[in-house]
Amino acid sequence: MKTEWRIFLVIATFLFGATILYAAWTAGESGRVEWVGTVALALSFLLCSMCGGFFWFVSRRIDLRPEDRPDAEIADGAGEVGFFSPGSYWPFGLALAATTAGVGLAFWQFWLLGAGLLACIFAASGLLFEYYTGTRRTAEH
């Protein structure tokens, strides 16, 4: 986690400097600060600071990972990364449902937006419970 918080710190520092520079530049050009860009940059700075602070907070409480140790070998990071479903159709259904909801929102069609959101809930539930019901149900559950 040491690497992550340092990356966010560098980006946050850049965004803070860009916020000040942008506000000063627009004030010098037109005589007044352009607030939309200034606030967007300031909020981006705050978001990066918040993420970096979280990673710094977590890095103090966990042991060093192989990525954080200079004496680590490649084999130290070996092992199980996680479980990835080999053949699930639910992500496609979730993307299709989100697209439907987005089109309904873009064209301001409440019936299409409602159908898309309902389909999003159904697809997310299907993705979540994929290995708890049906033919892919495992013995442990």
pLDDT tens-digit series, residues 53-64: 999 999 888 888
Sequence-ordered list of residues with C-beta below 8 angstroms from that of 78, at least 6 positions apart, any chain: none
- Residues 102, 64, single domain; the answer is no
The conformation of residue 77, written as its DSSP 8-state character, comes to G
What total of structural domains would you count in the chain?
2
Q: How far is the C-alpha of 114 from the C-alpha of 101, rounded, in Å?
A: 7
Task: Give the mean model confidence (pLDDT) for residues 48-74.
Answer: 87
The conformation of residue 65, written as its DSSP 8-state character, comes to P
138 is a domain residue: no
137 is a domain residue: no
Instruction: State the pLDDT at residue 134.
Output: 65
Domain that holds residue 117: 89-130
